[in-house]
Structure 1
């Protein structure tokens, strides 16, 4: 199996472990390209990859400039849902989409678990 297939399987497992709390997930490269995704058809994966990389890059720079240490995660809350971004090893950014009413603690726990699995798969 290739890296896309391995990561795709891991992302599908995330959706299965958190049904209703995770509605989509993707692994992006820091340069803004998509590695693998499990997203609804109305989500533009190229746009998500580009915006996610920009958000994470800017947020890491902000942490550096404000002496806040390494970036852990970014949670964006909109009127209809949340988007969470975190690093998955050194080569990937995990993006997770959730509805507005979500068990955020469960989602963050599953993101950590998924990020660790992805980091191992990408070694």
Structure 2
């Protein structure tokens, strides 16, 4: 089945543009290949994709070993903001980059909405 990359790119671009304090987003295959992205210009899409898939895989293993159940998200907090990795079905991993000023509750709700929209587009 062919993935409509243009539609996925449009969904991500609209999310980044419309969501306060979001700096970028990428949709990645579980193998670490970029499917679609709207990342800041200085970021290497292929490298970000590979690291995102690796982090999700490692997070799933850690979750299993620590008996935490099915992984919902991986949350990375740094001095310049947040990186949130969320499983987007069996076909993709969503990475969202947000600034330190992002309101986390609202951001999580927006990510949930975005994930549902992306899952529909991946069908």
Alignment size in residue pairs: 122
CA distance in 1, matches of 2:81, 2:43: 13
CA distance in 2, matches of 1:26, 1:111: 12
1:65-122 C-alpha deviation (Å, 9 max, x unpaired): 1111110011100111110000112100000001112111111111111111111111
Alignment of 1:63-82 (within 5 A): 63-82=63-82
CA contact (8 A) 1:8 1:36 kept: yes
Shift of 1:17: 2.7
- Structure 2 equivalent of residue 43 of structure 1: 43
Alignment of 1:7-26 (within 5 A): 7-19=8-20, 21-26=21-26
CA contact (8 A) 1:89 1:118 kept: no
- Structure 2 equivalent of residue 59 of structure 1: 59
The answer for unaligned runs of 5 or more in structure 1 is none
TM-score with structure 1 setting the length: 0.94
CA contact (8 A) 1:89 1:116 kept: no
CA contact (8 A) 1:81 1:97 kept: yes
CA contact (8 A) 1:90 1:119 kept: no
CA distance in 2, matches of 1:65, 1:29: 24
1:33-56 C-alpha deviation (Å, 9 max, x unpaired): 000000111111111101100100
Question: Deviating runs (4+, > 2 A) in structure 1?
Answer: none
